[in-house]
Amino acid sequence: MKCLICGSRMEEKTVTIARIYERQSDIPYALITDVPAEVCHQCGETVYTADVVARLQELSKRIKKGAPSAKTVEVPVYSLDDVAS
Ligand SMILES: [Zn+2]
């Protein structure tokens, strides 16, 4: 498969994605691992199959309802204001 953005070669990968729910959920942020995707070598464009998208939507629904996670990690938080414009 070729990238629709830049035309470079896409590679099958298993990725981790970050989801931000903020006020929609008791769990404002989550990482989702083991996500199959096609990722562009050149520009990083990431494409999911319709099945993966449906599964991600179902998982997001469960996360928003407070489903327990397999593990929790600490994540550093940065502000762009720390870099002068
Ligand atoms: Zn690309």
pLDDT for position 3: 97
Cβ < 5 A residues, ion ligand 1: 3, 5-6, 8, 40, 42-43, 45
pLDDT for position 44: 96
Q: Model-level pTM?
A: 0.84
Residue 63's Cβ-side half-sphere holds a number of Cα atoms within 13 Å equal to: 21
Q: What is the CATH number of domain 10-67?
A: 3.10.20
pLDDT for position 23: 80
Domain-wise residue ranges, the chain: 10-67
How does pLDDT run along the chain (85 residues), one tens digit per residue?
Answer: 899 999 999 999 999 999 998 887 888 899 999 999 999 999 999 999 999 999 999 999 999 899 999 999 998 999 999 999 8
What's the gap in Å between 51 CA and the centre of ligand 1? 22
What's the gap in Å between 18 CA and the centre of ligand 1? 20
The per-residue DSSP string of 10-52 comes to: EEEEEEEEEEE-GGG-SS-EEEEEEEEEEEETTT--EE--HHH
pLDDT for position 22: 85
What's the gap in Å between 73 CA and the centre of ligand 1? 30
